[in-house]
Amino acid sequence: MISQVNGSAVRSAYISNSGEQKAQKRESMNVLEQGDMSKVEKIKESLASGEYKVDLQALSEKIADELL
């Protein structure tokens, strides 16, 4: 049987561990969002400058795959 002292130590260790995991998840989500935003910004810039090219072959294949 776990004593009160050991039980509280386990709870505090669990809480600190889960807090660290949440912080790591937040950091990784921020990195992903920043990566996504930079990709979006690149696409916006290429659209504005008229340099954005659509791969019609790949697009048509994906549309055909979705229809089948």
Q: Residues 8-58: pLDDT tens digits?
A: 666 666 565 555 667 667 776 666 666 677 888 888 999 999 999 889 999
Q: Residues 44-65: pLDDT tens digits?
A: 999 999 999 889 999 999 999 9
- On whether the CB atoms of residues 52 and 43 are closer than 8 A, the answer is yes
In the DSSP assignment, the letter for residue 50 is: T
Q: Which amino acid appears at position 41 of this protein?
A: E
Region of 46 please: left (phi>0), alpha (psi -120 to 50) or beta: alpha
- On whether the CB atoms of residues 46 and 52 are closer than 8 A, the answer is yes
d(CA 61, CA 54): 13
